[in-house]
Amino acid sequence: MVPRRRQATRSAGLLAALGILAVITVLGIAVGSKQIPVADVWHGVMHYSGTDTDVIVRDVRLPRTLLGLLAGAALGLAGAVMQALTRNPLADPGVLGINAGASAAVVTGITFFGVTSLTSYVWFAFAGAAVVSAAVYILGGTRNATPVRLALAGTALTAALTGYLNAVNLMNTASLDKMRFWTVGSLASATMPTVEKVAPFIVAGTLVALLVARPLNAVALGDDQARALGTKLTRTRVAAMAAVTLLCGAATAACGPIVYVGLMVPHAVRAITGPDMRWILPYSAVLSPVLLLGADIIGRIAARPGELQVGIVTAVIGGPVFIHLVRRRKMAQL
């Protein structure tokens, strides 16, 4: 009886989260330097007639909101998968350097290879994310990896890659204008072609992440316990890292490096779902876009008539949360 009641509670919570996401999606289109009534939002999306309001809704805010939905889900799923895979409560694509790796690869492509299209960005981002994922895991000690080792490896690689990004910008100031908003993390330049190009990669990464949810439950118990339960560790790790690479690579190529989304949301989700990855992943996929779009809306309101980039807002929110998590888990002294 108790499992059924808990199942019903989780299902009701997920439906409520979807409702919140629907509301924040509408607000993402309606709120900005120009307030747009909900009726006009509906008209612009469903009955486009070419008016100024319709152009703002269909050509500017709708792609931005859709990209926020996709990127938010990708970052939340990636964070949840990494936390289970590494058994590290502080794992996050930003904290462990994966976003920095994707960023460094994209900036390299822009500066040295003349890359200008999102299609090319994506492949560079995938390569950078994959290389840094492997490097963090190797530096963390592979079989003997601990949360502290992985966090230190990610921090060291992030610092090195950030220095590289700054050096490239100083060497090639002509490319700085192309990269300066992208490297902060932004949804402002979203277009429908951007959404269409990254969507297949994020959908593929989402499917892979959901498929490894059950074996990740076993991996989170430790390698010995996972083997005893019949989990194929190598296959699970490769699939999980492939999912993280697809999700982070696509999100970073489209929006730039956005940190802390994949750290904060899975922690909040576990308070609702418990440790079961079969529920953590769907919840993270729904609530992470809520956080990202909410941060984007805050950035538009806080600096009218201009705006703060969403990467700045998530960093301002996520920094104190990260410190709280470290202190709460008594890891600050390690």
Could you give the CA distance from residue 89 to residue 270 in angstroms, rounded to a whole number?
11
Rg over CA atoms, the chain: 20
276-294 tens-digit pLDDT:
999 999 999 999 999 999 9
Domains of the chain with bracketed CATH = 2-328 (1.10.3470.10)
CA torsion 208-258-251-272 (nearest 10°) is 30
215 prior amide bond cis, ω within 30 = no
> 3-class SS at 92?
coil
Position 334 scores a pLDDT of 35
Position 98 scores a pLDDT of 86
Position 325 scores a pLDDT of 67
Of the candidates 270, 200, 275, 208, which has an alpha carbon nearest to the alpha carbon of residue 236?
208
Position 260 scores a pLDDT of 87
Orientation of helix 98-112 relative to helix 118-139, angle to 10°: 140
Position 315 scores a pLDDT of 86
**Residue ranges of the chain with per-residue pLDDT less than 50:** 1-2, 331-334
40-78 tens-digit pLDDT:
888 888 888 888 888 888 888 999 999 999 999 999 999
198-237 tens-digit pLDDT:
999 999 999 999 999 999 988 877 777 878 877 887 788 8
